[in-house]
Structures are given as C-alpha cells and as structure tokens.
Amino acid sequence: MILIKNGCVHNGRGQVKNTDLLIEDGKIVQIGEHLKASGAEVIDAAGMQVFPGFIDPLSDWGILGPGREIRGNANDNDERSDVFTPQLDVKYAFNGRGITRQQIYAFGITAVGVAPANNNVFGGQMAAFDVHGVNPMKMLIKEKTGMKASVTEAVKEAYGSRNLAPMTKMGIFAMFKEKLEAAKNYNPEDEKTERDEKLAALKQVVDKRMPLFVSCNTPTEIRSVLRATAEYDLDLVFCGGFGVDGTLSELAEKHCGLIVANPANGFNKYTRNTDYAGIAELARQGATVAFSAADNGFGGREDLLWSALEMQKVIHDDEAVLTMLTYNAAKLLGIENLTGSLEEGKRADLVLWSANPITSYKGAVEMTIANGEILYRKGDAMKCFL
Amino acid sequence: MLLIKNGKVLTMGPQGVLEQADVLIGDDGKIVKVAAAIEAEAAQVIDASGRIVMPGIVDAHSHIGGFDTDTGAQDLNELTKPQTPEIQAYDGINPLDRSFMESAKAGITTSAITPGSGNVICGLACAVKSAGTSLASRTLRNPIALKAAMGVNPKGVYGPRTAMPMSRLGVADLFRDYFLKVKDYQAKKAQGQTDPEKMPKFDQGLENGLLVLEKKIPLKVHCYQHDMMSLLQLAEEFDFDVTLDHALGSSDFYDELASSKHVRGVIYGPLGAPLFGGEGCKVDIDCLAELDRRGVCCAIMTDGPCFVPYMIITQAGEAVRTGLDEIRALHMITINAAKIIGCDDRIGSLEAGKDGDVLIFDGMPAVDTEARNLCTIIDGKIVYQA
C-alpha cells in the first residue's frame, strides 16, 4: 500500500484539490482528505502537483531505439511488403526492454499506444502498453485498440516509388473505399465466404468495434477521409493535426479524435500551420484532442509534453491541456475505464511533479508510479546504453 | 533612436539583472546606455513596464537558410569527398528563407550557420542576423569556425560507398591527414617568407585550416559521447581550440571537459531524441548545470531546421527543469553562445557599444512555459511585433 498525503491532486478531468490518495494492489482505492492506512508507505506530497501519468496514444516506443533489430528492416512496425495489412498486430513487434530502457516514465509517461507505421493504407492493429517491463504480453493494457491507416505522402513514397499502387491520392482513396466496402460485405458466417483475415480485421472497424486512426498531414487529407467514410458509421481518429483549423467543424460534429503531433521538427514541412486555437475550439465542440510525440522514431520522451506546451501557449488553460495529455488519450485508446485520470478504482498511474510542468519549466518529476509500482524517484540514476 | 522603458532588464552582461531600467539604442543601431530613467527626447519610446527585456538570442549551431524544408533542397552538405575545408556555409545560404523571419519572431537574432556534418572536414561557418537586407550586410562575421564531424554521420555517408571513412578509424585518419597537410603547408609558407622558391601554391582548403592552427577560429566539431575524447586527443596533438557541438553524453566526461585547455565551449542539443546505442546512448541536458558549475562555457543549439526556432527556449527550460538556474540557462542562449562563436564583442548582452539586438517578453523565458516574445529589435530596428 502507498498513501500519498497532501498533494495538489489534478484528476485529469478538470478537478483540482488538495487531498490524499491511497493505492493498493495497483489501483487507486481511495481519494479523500486525512486518509490513514496502517502499513502503507506514506509519501509526503505537500507542495507537489499530483498528475495522472501522461499517455502518448500514437507512438513507436518499444519498437524503435535500442532493442530494435540490427539486421533486416529495423522498423518492426513497418511491413512495407504489402500496402493492405489490417490483419497485422503490433503486439508482435513490441519489445518490453526496448521501451523500459528509454525510461520515459522518468518524464511522467505511464502508458502508450503503439501503432504500425504510416506507410500502408491500412497498416494493422494498435495496442496500449505499460512503459516498464519485459514480457510484452504482460505489459498489454489493451490490445486491438485501433486500426492504423494512412493517406499521407508516406504511402506514395513507399509504394509509388517502386511503381506499385498507390502512386497517387487517387490510388490511395480508391483502395481505401474498396477495402472498407469489402470489409462491410465480408460475412464469415456464410459457408460460401472464403476465409479472409484481412477483411475480418477491417470488419472490426466497419462494425464500430475498433476505431480507425488515420494519419493525415493536411486538412485536405482529413476532408478526403471524411468524404470517403461518409456512408459509414465509424469511430474516426485523425493523427497529425497539422493545418487543422476551426473550419473543420465536421470533426466536432462527428466527435472524432484528433491527435496533434509535435511541431518541433523544422524538417517536417506540415507542422508550421497548426492552429491550436482552432483545435481547442473543435475540442470544446465535441472533438477529442490528444497529443503525440511520434516523429518517425526520432522523438524523445520530452516531445509529448512539448506538444502540449504549444497548445498551452495559445489557450492558457492548463487543466484542459492536462486532460488532453491524459484522459483524452486514454479515451481514444478505449482504456479510459482503466487509466488516464485519478479516480477510485482506476489503475494507480500517477506522477508527482515539483511544480506544474504545463505552466513552468521548473516542474520536475519527483516520483512516478505506474500500476501501483514506484518506477522512479527523483535522483535515481538514469541509465545509458553501451 | 529607440528607448525601451521600464522593463525588467536581463542584461546578460556585467550589469546583471536590473529590476527596472531602460535601454537606449542609437541611430547607428548600437546600444548607447542601459540604466534607470534614461531621458532621450528624440527617441521613439517602447513601454516595457511589466515586461522582460533581454538581448537577442544567439543560436550557436544552425543550418537555417541552407536547407529548404519545403522542397527538400539542401546546400550545406557537399558530400562528394570527406574533406571539404575550402567551402563555406556563406555560399549556401538563402537569406530570404522563411526560417530567418521565424527565428526573429521566436527571438533568435543571430545564428551561427554551419555546413552539415556529412563530411569529416566540412567547411567554414559564419554568423548571420535574422533580419536586414543582403546576406553580406546581415553577416556579422565570416568565418567564425571551421566545421568538422566525427562519428556516425560521415561514416553513414561514405561507408555505404565503400569509401573512407567507413569506421571511426577512418574518421580519425582523415582528421589527422588534413591537419598534417595544413602543418606542412604552414611550414612551407614560413620557408617561403625567406625563400620565395619554397612558397607553396595557394590552397584555400589549407588556408582555412591555418586559421584553426593559428587559433584565429576554433574547430567546430559535431561530436557525441566518446568521440569527444578522441577529439581532445587530436586537439592536443595539433594544438587547436575546439567547440564541442551536440555533445550529448557530456555527463560522462566532466573532468576531461573542464580541465581541457582546448575546449572553447560546449554547444549542447538538440534534445528530444530517443536513446540509441553507441554515440546516442545518453541524452543528458542535466550535464549543463554541472559543466557550468565547473566553469565550462556552455550554449544550447536548435540545429535548425532540425528544431524550429522557439525550441531554443524550450531546451533552456529543460535545462532549468534539471536544476540549472534560469539566468544561467539564459546565458547559454545569449552571451555564452556569443562567446563560443567569437562574437561577444558585438552581441549576446545588453551593454553600451554592442549591437541593438533586443527582445521584450511577457513572461520569464525558460521558466514560464507561456512566455511570449512580443518584440524583436535587430540593429535598433523593430523587425517583429506580436
């Protein structure tokens, strides 16, 4: 048992108060003032900000970086042999030691969504993982959290450059629509239907059992996806968010998700026009906004918070930004009943900060607890790789 | 004349922090005086009450204007042979590139623009202001350093061509080969003073190396981790000054860096990388507080366009997060950077006689995450206003 006393608790859903938190068997069992628990390790959090752990819903942690393959294709979430691979499952690529070694928990991150790369039109199924461990299957918070799709230039570069389809947006969207229709019509119950794992996987999206995460770098790509899916009732999450502004009201009307990528990389020509005020307005109207650090395997553990700081600079609402960093990310992954906010019954995924890191660079991680386990205390030596 | 009144002035110079003071810039674009209650009837007055006034930010390592991020065109990596000391970044810079205006907006008023790191000996770097007219008029000094690179970058360019350098052995050999030639050239030139017959044929590449051996400019070296130790060996052998650029992994070498008489400074960054093996095994911006304590002159870079300009402040904030005093952190993006690139006679602090490069923030940069640059003044001219 761990009892955290007198912290300023931000629950991730807009509520802030000075209170205590009791953790047992990996869960938050009680939140309230003046809690007592005999035998519990008591942590004095007076003066500290207690946050839910941050969640990056769309990352490649555990796949790139150390632990990656040294021969063959090093990017194990990037099966570029076939542009239509919805049957693939990212859990088979996840390396527990790979993510653990990155020590992203020491920067306040306690869960990640991991996804196939951006190079296939339908790339495969995503999963949500713990940030510390060895056995990937034990680290699974939830599998099949989403289907990853992409309609960006990356698809054209991966296939068109080999004279394979799709070489153009026409090719991408023809395939996009054809496969959705085929998945809709796929009926494994019918004896005459030939078994097709690809269509069976994509059918989960059409049946709304799984959200569709679509990588889009421009508002035009988002609008094209909205058109291509207009006949379907889907859970849509757009990834990238570059150039999105308040005029894309359809995102709010359809309660879409929007994962805003980190604009810090100046080589990414799409990042420059991100309209945070417009995105925040869409969030107020019903879109679920979260952030991601994903940058083709070169983002560091700091990038997720940096993405959020760009939003904070514009909207000056740190609790709303915190919700985007935690609860909203969990919601997009369908794990909000498990984590993403500090509420009784949920996983004890929380971080003690010396100051609010959304408003001050003086905010440093004092302690990270994930699944009720203390993963990091300030002063723990950071490990390097040799 | 321009008079900036009543701001909290972070001079970054001998006057330190002035809680309420004025900055007067003359018609020649130079600072006349920094003091309380300056009277100057003819001056245009900017009210900076409640604001932070500081010198323009100096980015000690950048490639802006040499990489067109829209088209992918680049003019700073001449990857046709691994030693290109005769080339200069100055010839590869497009002064109209929008990165300059974006830099001015973020508060960077001078960038040290250097060739890329694909070659072992890369070419000359220069210091360029973010606004003004022609490149010639905006260039504060050329050259400021001869750029060189160690480690995986040159290996990654030439190794796949089965050419030297394919390994760190080849990198070190090419370093020594070049400076031995420069030494020979130097000796022949000395002989040529008395015996014109022995005067060697003019060689621009070797002339540029002479500037380094004569310590007129430092060798500006892309290096990480253990490559820094190899570099110090070479600096000892040939007796030249070096700046350690990137310098991730410095926390393993405090004693060596602090005691070396060859290290003019450490230019750290960019942060925001996952941990890799080998030279990428540490991301340790916490090293800046310790290096600073030990008297090593430290700066922070954007490596633009790797990072967009505002990231220089974000990274200074990250150094603050690890415990560095905020004024020391701001030194690292102003006066320290100016010193390391050899331009502190002109820029880096608010002092009488220096260039009128001034910023006005609405919060404390590197502490307050929402602090915004409201006004950029370069050479006494307002070039950006929020």
**Domain boundaries, given as residue ranges, for chain B:** 1-55+348-385, 57-347
User: Given this model, what pLDDT does residue A98 score?
Assistant: 87
Query: Which DSSP string do the residues of B207-256 spell out, in sequence order?
Result: HHHHHHHTTSS-EEEEE-TTHHHHHHHHHHHHT--EEEEE-TTGGG-HHH
Among A251-260, A374-383, B131-140, B190-199, the range scoring the smallest mean pLDDT is A374-383
- Return the closest-CA partner of residue B125 out of B267, B308, B297: B267
A273 Rama class: left (phi>0) / alpha (psi -120 to 50) / beta: alpha
Residue A49: per-residue pLDDT: 98
Chain A residues in contact with B284 (beta carbon < 8 A): 382
A315 contact residues in B (CB cutoff 8 A): none
In chain A, residues with a C-beta closer than 8 Å to the C-beta of B97 are: none
pLDDT band at B277 (very low <50, low <70, confident <90, very high): confident
Convert the pLDDT of each residue in A240-261 to its tens digit.
Answer: 888 888 889 999 999 999 999 8
| Inter-chain touch B306–A267, beta carbons under 8 Å | yes
Q: Which of B275, B306, B320 minimises the CB distance to A65?
A: B275
Burial, A160: exposed, middle or buried (Cβ in 10 Å; 0-12, 13-18, 19+)? middle
CB A365 within 8 A of CB A127: no
Q: Which amino acid appears at position A227 of this protein?
A: R
CA distance A117 to A73: 13
How distant is the Cα of A367 from the closest Cα of chain B, in angstroms? 14
**Spatial distance between the Cα atoms of A304 and A27, rounded to a whole number of angstroms:** 25
Q: How many angstroms separate the CA atoms of B379 and A49, rounded?
A: 43
Residue A49 · residue A353 · CB < 8 Å: yes
The nearest alpha carbon in chain B to A267 belongs to B69
Instruction: Decide if B308 and A359 are in contact by the 8 Å CB cutoff.
Output: no
Q: Which of B307, B369, B370 to mutate to test the interface with A (most CBs of A within 10 A)?
A: B369
Q: How far apart are CA A170 and CA A224, in angstroms?
A: 10
Res. B357: pLDDT tops 80: yes
pLDDT value of residue A271: 81
pLDDT at A384: 57
Q: B318 vs A302: CB contact, 8 Å cut-off? A: yes
Q: How far apart are CA B309 and CA B102, in angstroms?
A: 7
Backbone torsions φ then ψ of B80, nearest 5 degrees: -105, -15
The stretches in chain A having pLDDT less than 50 are 386
Q: Please report, to the nearest 10 degrees, the dihedral formed by the alpha carbons of residues B118, B124, B128, B133 taken in order.
A: -100
pLDDT, tens digit, 9 for 90 and up, residues B223-255: 999 999 999 999 999 999 999 999 999 999 999
Predicted confidence at residue A383, as pLDDT, reads 63
| CB spacing of A264 vs B308 below 8 angstroms | yes
B338 within 8 A of B63, measured Cβ to Cβ: no
CA distances B307 to A194, A265, A299, B310, Å, are 51, 5, 11, 8
Contact A384 B318 (CB under 8 A): no
Give chain A's length.
386
CA pair distance A311, A12, nearest whole angstrom: 16
Q: What is the pLDDT of residues B65-123, one digit of tens each?
A: 999 988 889 999 999 999 999 999 999 999 999 999 999 999 999 999 999 999 999 99
- Binary contact (A313, B368; C-beta < 8 A): no
**Residue B281 binned pLDDT confidence (cut-offs 50, 70, 90):** confident
Distance from CA of B214 to the nearest CA of A (A): 36
Any bridge partners for residue A237, and if so which?
Answer: A213, A257
Q: How confident is the model at residue A386, as a pLDDT?
A: 45
User: How long, in residues, is chain B?
Assistant: 386
pLDDT of residue A70: 55
pLDDT digits (tens, 9 = 90+) for A272-315: 778 899 999 999 999 999 999 876 556 889 999 999 999 999 99
> Which of B103, B93, B104, B102 minimizes the C-alpha distance to B68?
B93
Distances (CA, A) of B229 to A93, A275, B53, B224, B341: 37, 45, 39, 9, 21
Task: Say yes or no for a CB contact (<8 Å) between A361 and B367.
Answer: yes
Tell me which fold the domain B1-55+348-385 belongs to: Urease, subunit C; domain 1 (2.30.40)
Closest-CA distance of chain B to residue A385, Å: 5
CA distance B345 to chain A (A): 30
Mean pLDDT of chain B: 97
CB-closest option in A272, A301, A359 to B369: A359
Q: Does B149 touch chain A (CB under 8 A)?
A: no
Contact state of A271 with B308 under an 8 Å Cβ cutoff: yes
Residues of B in contact with A64 (CB under 8 A): 274
Q: If we measure between CA atoms, which residue out of B350, B99, B110, B114 comes closest to residue B218?
A: B114
| 3.30.460.10, 3.40.50.2000, 3.20.20.140, 3.30.300.30: CATH of B57-347 | 3.20.20.140
Tell me if chain A has a CB within 8 Å of the CB of B314.
yes
pLDDT of residue A298: 67
B322: contact with A, CB 8 A cutoff = yes
Q: Which residue of B has its CA nearest to A104?
A: B274
For residues B312-332, average pLDDT? 98
* Residue in A closest to B362 by C-alpha: A313
Question: What are the CA-CA distances from residue A34 to residues A7, A12, A20, B385 (Å)?
Answer: 12, 22, 7, 51
CA A126 to mean position of chain CA atoms: 10
Chain B residue with Cα closest to A65: B276
Residue ranges of B 269-288 with Cβ closer than 8 A to chain A: 271-277, 281-284
d(CA B245, CA B235): 15
Instruction: Tell me the pairing of strands A41-44 and A2-10.
Output: parallel
Of B282, B307, B322, which is closest to A384 when you measure between CB atoms?
A: B282
Pairing of strands B298-300, B358-361: unpaired
- The whole-number pLDDT of residue B133 equals 85
Nearest CB among B284, B304, B369 relative to A309 is that of B369
DSSP H or E segment with residue B154: helix B152-158
Q: What are the phi and psi torsion angles at A93 (to 5°)?
A: -110, -10
Count, in order, helices (H) and strands (E) of chain A. Answer: 11, 16
**B chain contacts of residue A263, beta-carbon cutoff 8 Å:** 308
What gap in Å lies between CA A133 and CA A155, rounded to an integer? 33
CB B159 within 8 A of CB B167: yes
Q: How many CA atoms lie within 13 A of A124 on its CB side?
A: 25
In angstroms, the separation between the Cα of residue A365 and the nearest Cα of chain B is 9
CB contact under 8 A, B274 and A316: no
Element (H, E) at B175: helix B168-194
Cβ contact B276–A65 (<8 Å): yes
**Contacts with B272 from chain A: Cβ below 8 Å:** 264, 299-300, 302-303, 306
Spatial contact of A86 and A120, defined as CB atoms under 8 Å apart: no
- CA dist B300 and B285 (Å) reads 9
Residue B251: per-residue pLDDT: 95
Name the residue of chain A whose CA is nearest to B321's CA.
Answer: A362
Taking a contact as any Cβ pair under 8 Å apart, which residues of chain B between 69 and 88 contact chain A?
69-70
Question: A313 vs B273: CB contact, 8 Å cut-off?
Answer: no
The 3 state secondary structure assigned to B176-211 is HHHHHHHHHHHHHHHHHHHCHHHCCCCCHHHHHHHH
Which residues in chain A have their CB less than 8 angstroms from residue B372's CB?
Answer: 313
**Cβ separation A309–B314 shorter than 8 A:** yes
